[in-house]
Amino acid sequence: MSDILRLSVPLAAWLAGFSVVYGLQGLSCSRHWPEGLAARPVLLSAWVLAVALQAALLWMLLRNPSPSPFARAVSLALALTALLAALWTLMPVAVTSVCL
């Protein structure tokens, strides 16, 4: 994996997960959401999937570190930041009501 991917993928994956989870939440509050489908399990599944993806990226960076000490340190810091951001910014899906 090149160093530029090591540095950019964790935050890009967080951005994609954030967009998907809150896009699903917006869709679940609209009239386009299927009648019989409960929104809470779908949103929780998307949250868990986003956090699992971030944890997998961090694990891959720990397992296959960059040869450059600078790139290794920065990529691990960014991956940890993205994991914590996924946990924190997507947590309202799990603890608040779906449509206010």
Percent of the chain at pLDDT > 70 equals 99
pLDDT (tens digit per residue) in 34-63: 988 998 999 999 999 999 999 999 999 999
Token digits for 28? 């679940």
Average pLDDT across the chain, whole number: 92
Q: Which residues contact 17 (CB under 8 A, 6 or more apart)?
A: 46, 49, 50, 53, 54, 86, 90
Per-residue pLDDT at 1 exceeds 80: no
Domain parsing of the chain, residue ranges: 3-94
pLDDT (tens digit per residue) in 61-83: 999 999 999 999 999 999 999 99
Which pTM does this prediction carry? 0.89
Q: Return the half-sphere exposure (C-beta side, CA atoms, 13 A cut-off) of residue 19.
A: 6
